[in-house]
Copies of this chain bind each other. A is one copy, B any other.
Amino acid sequence: MPKDSFIAAKSAADPLNFALANCIRALSIDAVNAANSGHPGAPMGMADAATVLFRKHLKFDASNPDWADRDRFVLSNGHASMLLYSLLHLTGYEDMTIEQVKNFRQWGAITAGHPEYGHAKGIETTTGPLGQGIATAVGMAMAEKLAASEFDGLVDHHTYVMLGDGCLQEGIGQEAISLAGHLGLGKLVVLYDDNSITIDGPTSVSFSEDIPARFAACGWHVQSCDGHDAEELDAALTAAKAETAKPSLIAMKTIIGFGSPNKAGTSGVHGSPLGDDEGAAAKAALGWDAAPFEIPAELALEWHAIGSRGADARKEWEAKLDAHPQKQAFIDRMSGKLPAGYDAAFKDALAKLAAEPAKVATRKASQMALEALTPAVPAMVGGSADLTGSNLTRVKAVDTQYTRETPGRYIGYGVREFGMAAAMNGLALHGGFIPYGGTFLVFSDYSRNAIRLSALMGIQTIHVMTHDSIGLGEDGPTHQPVEHMASLRSIPNLLVFRPADAVETLEAWDIAIRTTNKPSLMALSRQGVPQLRSADEGENLTAKGAYVIRSFGEGRDVTLIATGTEVSLAVEAAEALAAEGFGVAVVSMPSWELFEDQPEAYKADVLGNAPRIAIEAAGKFGWTRYVASENDVIGMPGFGASAPAERLYEEFGITKDAIIARAKALMGK
């Protein structure tokens, strides 16, 4: 029995729920104490609500964590990871053993400081960077609605999110809320852990919004309740599910570190272990007397029953799938298998470029690729952060607008780059979709951390980033990427493409579509380029990352390495040098990452032993990987300027003449 009268009162209404929640609280106290680091406050405060959710509402079956139609549960305030690990352990997820819980935050454990997607079943997405959990969950809910419209009766699940003040202070939280409200994502339910505490102290230091009113203004169904009252929580969740036209917010008034006699309700319990004494005192106050990491048998049984609560529903669903006319299509889609017609679509598109070379901007080439490939890949879902006509992301097969009435394959994300990238992560994580979305390359700054999360999780998202250099011209330096190629190439596990022409652009799309375990990003031009490739090479040369696209003269006196729109410039310079009798190789390098993956011999062959020059209308940072010094890079010395593109290339010295001059200097001529 709880020793504390306030706590006792909270427990009285539903003693079993309270006792089950104490299992979470006790494990959280123990694991954080054992690790001597972590965040006990939020799991202790949200334990009651999480218990109600898992016990009475969440559709899941711990023995079949990959059940396609399970409800998705996203812990947006990822620092509360022990809440999730406790739930997974208690409900009987096979991989979440007590040993893993004991090894919280240790090397090799699946119980990282913040939930990491892929570490354990039941972690639907990586969270920790605040605001992104809810934004990713919005993508999941969008996926659900779209998949439900495609596969009759096979998809019908909720997406539940728990989040705290931090997620609502972050701007991306608002982008997500706004988009969810706009699209009327009726099966999205958010439980807000309103504990009035942030790291710096009471929320009154920095936060005084009327949160329910903000959500209401964005078209949400809004409720408030006591986050420690099982009955109120149950009623609120029931009402939230009953409202199908709007996403639902349940603002739960909670006490952070609930149970801790001396730290509850303070920022001291947010990110530090309770310690042995306060941990013991909290357990005493909660009426908990089991040994550390031990769960009383009857409660363990009860939790296991919760974990298998959904088994019948899961079996029914499986039976339904078995008898369903779209069975195989659904299985293929969810497993990410490319349709049989895909190869032919790609080859046809390539043949078409061989027959009729296209002198177009690479953003236009990208649209042509999408036009050709998307009919063969129904999983592809497009969109743009309000730059459709510039990004050229909309094509015939991906034209139906995703609206609140009818989900479609084209999503108007609005001017919400970060929210878009996170929603794309959610679409990918849900399964069944390959999301691609567009914005200007410079605004990858806004969406950057979601792209990073995509790379960290190893999931397939495709970022269409147009207007990739000073070549965009008059919009000026705020819109001209300079450092972005380097800054994106520096992100691990991200494929960055800067294709030179229509063929490379098509090849890049082919790679991005086939690469299921990492995100891809295309840097595409506003301005036109000639088609340099005859397209009959018989292999995807872009997949090699770099290759000799032109070779002039006998031997090699100099190598010009270029990317994107500067490859044709390099070819022009090479032709002029060749006319003077020099041996010149032009290397097109659409992807540094793929080139690094090639055998050493191939790399040496492509790069050659002659002096090298790199040409890219971007900052020079990083190019010393391939050239001797930044003096050998024909690129941008700093920020751009506002003027027509040709003038900018001239003024910033990214010219044929500059390449020739540097080449001659290097060759000692």
Contact = CB atoms under 8 A, between A and B. Distances in A.
Interface of A: 35, 37-38, 78, 105-109, 112-114, 116, 126-131, 165-166, 169-175, 178-179, 181-182, 198-201, 205-211, 213-214, 216-219, 384, 386-390, 401, 412-419, 442-443, 445-446, 448-449, 452-453, 455-456, 473-479, 482-483, 486-487, 489-493, 619, 621-622, 624-625, 630, 637-639, 641-644, 647-648, 651
Number of copies: 2
A456 to B, nearest CB: 5
A394 to B, nearest CB: 9
A107 B389 contact: no
A385 to B, nearest CB: 9
A416 B170 contact: yes
13 contacts: A107-B647, A113-B479, A129-B478, A166-B415, A171-B173, A200-B387, A207-B414, A209-B218, A213-B217, A445-B449, A445-B452, A621-B622, A624-B625
Contacts of A131: 171, 415
A229 B490 CA distance: 52
Contacts of A448: 445, 448
Given A170-B415, A171-B175, A114 B475 contact: yes
Nearest to A416: B169
A418 B478 CA distance: 16
A415 B213 CA distance: 20
By CB atoms of chain B within 10 A, which of A130, A131, A413, A475 has the most?
A475
A660 to B, nearest CB: 23
Given A169-B414, A200-B388, A218-B214, A642 B113 contact: yes
Contacts of A78: 478
A171 B134 CA distance: 13
Contact of A412 (B205, B211, B643): B205
Contacts of A486: 486-487, 490, 621-622
Given A105-B642, A489-B621, 15 more contacts: A107-B648, A113-B475, A113-B476, A116-B642, A169-B175, A169-B178, A200-B386, A205-B412, A205-B414, A209-B218, A209-B219, A483-B491, A486-B486, A490-B621, A492-B637
Given A414-B206, A642-B116, A37 B171 contact: no
Contacts of A386: 166, 169, 198-200, 206
B449 A200 contact: no
A37 B202 CA distance: 50
Contact of A490 (B109, B217, B388, B483): B483
B171 A474 contact: no
Nearest to A447: B445
Contacts of A415: 130-131, 165-166, 169-170, 198, 206
